[in-house]
Structure 1
Amino acid sequence: MIHSFPCGDPALDFVGTWQARRNESPAEKLGTPAGLDAWFVESTLAPDGTSPTAEDLAAAIELREAIYALVLARLERHDLPEDDMTTVNTYAAHPPLLRVLHRDGRSKEGTSAAALSEIARGAIELVGGSEAGLLRECARPECTQVYIDRSRGQRREWCSMKTCGSRVKVAAYRSRLKAANG
């Protein structure tokens, strides 16, 4: 698996494909059309993939950055940027993935544009809905992942306990050991 999905929302996990965005060396997880297709498959958004092109990749990155700008505005309690709202609304206006019923189950079919439409629609629901107040940014300084804090008491600090939470706790433990051994 190339991608991770710790955020509790596909649009936020999609934003997280540009990892550690404020660090000196952020990591681009979509870098190629194949990386975008892998995200579609691994997220189960389009389990059979969409065979994206370089143009689809450019569109995906444009959408991702517009969603991030809207999420950041919500986090910082600022007005939503008009240009980014327009971008997300434009992608959401495309037809979504087609749901197809089969004798043995169901599938989702469509193009990369349809998959991006699904992501944009989810972002609209998130940024404009009741869960916008639950958006948090990971407390690990090297991480910029945004997640939905649905924890009881809403005191979750990390995007994922398996990765960031564990790293922070190990670093704190080592720091205490070093101080104790002086």
Structure 2
Amino acid sequence: MDAFLSGRPCLDLTTTLRVRHREQPVETLRTPADLGAWIAASGLCEAPVEVDAGGLRRARALREAVYRIGHPAGAPAPDDVAALNAAASRPPLVPRLVDGTVYRSGGLDAVLSTLARDAIDLFGGPHAARVRECAHPDCSRLFLDVSHAGRRRWCGMAACGNKAKSAAYRRRQEQP
């Protein structure tokens, strides 16, 4: 699923609000059921997670704090760091090893704590400077650039990279 291209679960959460730089961003977490479906698709935990309206608000607030902290253009605001730390202070998902496979379980607060802890690990670690925003004009996805040279421009070649390269090729062909 293209919703999980960012390289880290916390960055994948930020992509649930798409084309942020547009006047009308696209909210994919419109209902509690949407958040529940995103959590299931993410593979964060093995069982469905119950989400209510308050849980949806908490998830969106965490998403926005992670986005603002992770966006390459700015310094983290103290309120966003406090929100991230508060979410991480809750118990995370509980891992279990079954036949060599890790399964995680817990409720929504455990999912949010796990995502917040992932963000703390990323933004407080050596890869923080490798968080990028996709260069495609129709994408605002944050992603972790794990390329050797550290010069990746797009969240993924299959979508944004190919579109950008095709558009540039067409522009070059149209010029006399």
Equivalent of 2:93, from 78, 94, 97?
97
C-alpha contact (below 8 Å) 1:40/1:47 kept by paired residues: no
- The alignment's C-alpha RMSD in Å is 1.7
1:134 aligned onto 2:140: no
The CA distance in 1 between the partners of 2:162 and 2:100, in whole Å, is 41
**Letter aligned with residue 154 of structure 2:** W
- Number of matched pairs: 176
Change (3 A) 1:157 1:93: same
| Percent identity (aligned) | 39
C-alpha contact (below 8 Å) 2:91/2:110 kept by paired residues: yes
Q: 1:70 deviation in Å?
A: 0.8
SS in 2 for 1:136: strand
C-alpha contact (below 8 Å) 2:93/2:114 kept by paired residues: yes
TM-score scaled by structure 2? 0.92
The CA distance in 2 between the partners of 1:155 and 1:135, in whole Å, is 11
Q: Which residue of 2 aligns with 1:149?
A: 145
Higher alpha-carbon deviation: 62-71 or 24-33: 24-33
SS in 1 for 2:136: coil
Post-superposition Cα deviations, 1:48-94, rounded to whole Å, max 9, x if no partner, equal: 2212111111100010011111112xx1353x211011100000011
Equivalent of 2:82, from 65, 82, 86?
86
**Letter aligned with residue 57 of structure 1:** L
1:122 aligned onto 2:131: no
Change (3 A) 1:84 1:171: same
Q: 1:143 deviation in Å?
A: 1.4
1:165 aligned onto 2:151: no
Q: Which residue of 2 aligns with 1:10?
A: 9
C-alpha contact (below 8 Å) 2:68/2:74 kept by paired residues: no
